[in-house]
Structure 1
Amino acid sequence: MNTAQAEGIVVDNLKAAQRSLRIAFVTETYPPEVNGVAMTIARIVEGLHRRNHDVQLIRPRQDGNESAERSPRFHEVLMRGLPIPRYPNLRMGVPSKRALVQLWSVNRPDVVHIATEGALGWSALQAALHLKLPVCSDFRTNFHAYSRHYGIGWLYKPIMAYLRKFHNRTQCTMVPTEALRRDLEAGGFKQLTVVSRGVDTQLFTPLRRSQALREQWGVAPDDLVCLYVGRIAPEKNLATLTAAFEAISRQNPRIRLVVVGSGPQQAELQARCPNAIFAGQRKGEDLAAHYASGDLFLFPSLTETFGNVTTEAMASGLAVVAFNYAAAAQLIRSGDNGVLVPMDDQDAFVRVAVSAAADLAACRAMGVKACTTTSELDWASIVARFEGVLEAVMVRAAAPQALPLRATARRAA
């Protein structure tokens, strides 16, 4: 038995018809897991494949019966994984350096891209450095910020030190916004470049608004629906959501709150908001209909690197109330196509949410403008930018004295 078999790897050798680059893409989350990182990674991987690159997707097996045959679109390598505590539907990778060294020694990629910083991501980084492969990474999840919401805030500095060490050993780290790039650079992160995120405007559109769904929620055509989509978990700052909706309800008891998602705080949130509608996890057109059938999107999270739900809500024609950072800061013109609130000011969030909910016509007018704002966030252009950064990483690896990466990436894109 070889090392790959011993590590529990399943390999599917299908390749793109016309290979341009051989890209090893390493991630510890991928659909059907439901989260913004998994969705974004799937868009990038599938977009690279459509651009005739030979993509080798390396990720944890998501259940004991899964085989690589489920994804014939590209070469897939399924590694052993373990359930994440408190998130049984998600998996994390395990140390796998030896298997990856063997895999890439036989099937050497042109470039390695690491999307997550867990045990599998660290193993991929070590294997790539061992084999002297060009390697780049993504900063996609604020694990360091999450620590403050799980009673382990004392780990903030060690986590940041690990993340800084991880990313600074790659030749480039992609981040979704310029603001995050500046923050990380101030924290000692190097070789950062901005690659934003797109939204599927064919899926997320006001045309999916469903009166039948609204009737199921018990709301009339002229009633306002507040919507939240995301994990029901401490890092999403849901105390601010409940405070806002309680204040809104005191002004107008007919307004409904619809919560789409699941997570460890669901029972607590249900007890706090007994009249809210908990729709559970939704996908595809069903999720799109839930977005489009709302009116006001309340997003109180303070731990996003981007916040895909912001763009999905805007594309669906909803006015968004959010703190002034991540995707919201990048896309919302406060008072025009949504409303921005100063960072970590819960009282202001509540006041703004109450004011927005009091004017249904203004909400819907902002929603129309929000939809227009997202019309140019095309995934094809995002994938092309991503491709350009990969090419720049390869150039930099081949010629260490070349131009700084960000300048090179712009030329390659």
Structure 2
Amino acid sequence: MPKGAPPSSPGRPVRVALFSGNYNYVKDGANQALNRLVGRMLARGDVIPRVYSPVSATPAFPPTGDLVPVPSFPIPGRSEYRVGIGITPAVARDLAAFRPDLVLLSAPDLLGHAAKRWARARALPVVASVHTRFETYGDYYRLGWLRGWAETMLRRFYCDLAEIYVPTEGMAEVLRAQGVSERVQIWSRGVDHALFHPGRRDLTWRRTLGIADEDFTIGFVGRLVLEKGLDMVAAVSEALSARGVGHRVLVVGDGPARAFLAGRLPDAVFTGFLAGEALARAHASADLFLNPSVTETFGNVTLEAMACGVPVVAADVVGSNALVGDGVTGRLVPPRDVVAFASAIAAYAADPGLRRAHGAAGLARARLFDWDRVNDAMIDRLLRLCGRTAGGAGGTEASVAVGGVQIPAAAR
């Protein structure tokens, strides 16, 4: 029995303490997925979530659910991000009052390590969701020599958890191959089809940005940070220009590397950060979506572009290759191969019919991704880990000991 908490009983919802390094102070794909998950928990009612995360005086968006601020400090050189210092006495008191049945971690940071230790001391099951490939980040900041150390740290953090959740089978295979864990499960992603759809395309809006109706427009959406592959966006555009392929680059997002990209692409159109209908309009108003990133585990922006009927050219890595059908909904090319990226994009620039066909196929595939369905599957796994079945009934499944906690056999 967890110390300080009564056993999870059929008469009350399961309580989940979620620890996030960034729940809402900077918008990204990871915290959008976490907020969606919390919203679904609240809608169902059989799970009560409580979120612990660093906060900001100027958050990017309102948090979903109850958010408990964790003391933090800004990351040197990247002050828009913050690091939680751990579980302070005030946070510990809040956790004791909440009495969680399960702890969900979303980042292997200081806060995540502290939360793991706190849960272990109380014999609570600990699970984690994996949202990005942190071990690759050093490659973009001349710290590639840290990669081996980072992979070792990630293995130590994840190896003894009850379960790990990743958005694609490809990412699951990466973690298994790295020796991180065999207890890897899929928590996929969805897209809001009422928001993202081809009807958002707006040539009038493009004209206000100086983009003519006939201009072949390449869209890029994301945080303007080097690890998103901004150097590749610039290099590919330069290669297209060298080939005489007319195009415009539409950059949606903001971040510390904006000046870098603007310096490389002085003719690009920068919209800054967009959200909601404005973001959907930007996606749908592009003729092609470019995603050269190799750091994401899924690529929410890729799925949003597909839902808008836009073909995608992306690096052939885990995440993108789970979404893009090469030669069907877009093209997958070798990572960081400027020539291959430029050739694939040039083919679309020359053939509007190909763009329409692959955009329509992408839209059809995007319709398979539904937020409620994938989040329900995730919540049901958490319930089983706490000895419940979906809908809040008491669980009767046999359990086995894995990683020091009791895990229902059907949930392994």
TM-score, normalization by structure 2? 0.87
Once the two structures are superposed, residues 139-190 of structure 1 have per-residue CA deviations (whole angstroms, 9 ceiling, x without a partner) of 1121110011112122112211111111123211111111111111111111
Q: Secondary structure at the match of 1:188?
A: coil
Distance across 2 between alignment mates of 1:398 and 1:82: 44
Change (3 A) 1:321 1:253: closer
Check the 8 A contact 1:26/1:59 in 2, yes or no: yes
1:138 aligns to what?
129
User: Per-residue deviation at 1:389?
Assistant: 1.9
Aligned counterpart in structure 2 of residue 36 of structure 1, from 25, 29, 37? 29
Cα 1:266/1:25, change in 2 over 3 Å: same
Check conservation: 1:311, 1:374, Cα contact below 8 A.
Answer: yes
Please, what is the CA RMSD of the aligned residues?
Answer: 2.5
Alignment check: 8 A CA contact 2:399 2:407 kept: no
Higher normalized helix content (fraction of residues): 1
Map of 1:148 onto structure 2: 139
What is the one-letter code of the residue matched to 1:180? M
Q: Which residue of 1 aligns with 2:176?
A: 185
Aligned residue for 1:26?
19
Q: What's the counterpart of residue 332 of structure 1?
A: 324
Which whole-Å CA distance do the structure 2 matches of 1:78 and 1:391 have between them? 26
Kindly indicate whether the alpha-carbon contact (under 8 Å) linking 1:323 and 1:341 is maintained by their aligned counterparts in 2: yes
Give the aligned residue type for 2:50. Q
Q: Deviations over 1:369-405 (max 9, x none)?
A: 2111111200001111111221233249993348997
**Aligned pair in 2 of structure 1 residues 393, 147: CA closer, same or farther (>3 Å)?**
farther
Q: What is the DSSP-based 3-state SS (H/G/I as helix, E as strand, rest coil) of the residue aligned with 1:286? A: helix
CA pair 315-161 structure 1, distance change in 2 beyond 3 A: same
Pair 1:119 & 2:145 matched: no
SS of residue in 1 equivalent to 2:376: helix
User: Does the aligned pair in 2 maintain the 1:97–1:123 contact within 8 Å?
Assistant: no
Letter in 2 for 1:399: S
Task: Find the partner of 1:358 among 335, 338, 350.
Answer: 350
Which residue matches 1:172?
A: 163
> Percent identical across equivalent pairs?
34
Q: Which runs of 5+ in 1 are unaligned?
A: 1-17
Contact 1:54 1:75 in 2 (8 A): no
Partner of 1:3: none
Aligned positions, number: 388
Query: Which of residues 249, 255, 258 in structure 1 aligns to 2:241?
Result: 249
Q: Which runs of 5+ in 2 are unaligned?
A: 1-10, 389-396
Aligned partner of 2:283 in structure 1 is 291
- State the AA in 2 paired with 1:55: P
- 1:79-118 → structure 2 map (5 Å cutoff): 79-96=70-87, 98-118=89-109
The AA in structure 2 aligned to 1:44 is: L
Structure-1 separation of matches of 2:341 and 2:38: 36
In structure 1, the residue matched to 2:230 is: 238
Q: 1:7 maps to what in 2?
A: none
Structure 2 vs 1, CA of residues 307 and 406 (structure 1 numbering), >3 Å: closer, same or farther?
Answer: farther
Q: 1:175 to 1:212 in 2, by over 3 A?
A: same
Distance 2:364 2:284 in 1: 14
Query: How far did 1:19 drift?
Result: 5.7
The residue type equivalent to 1:56 in the other structure is R
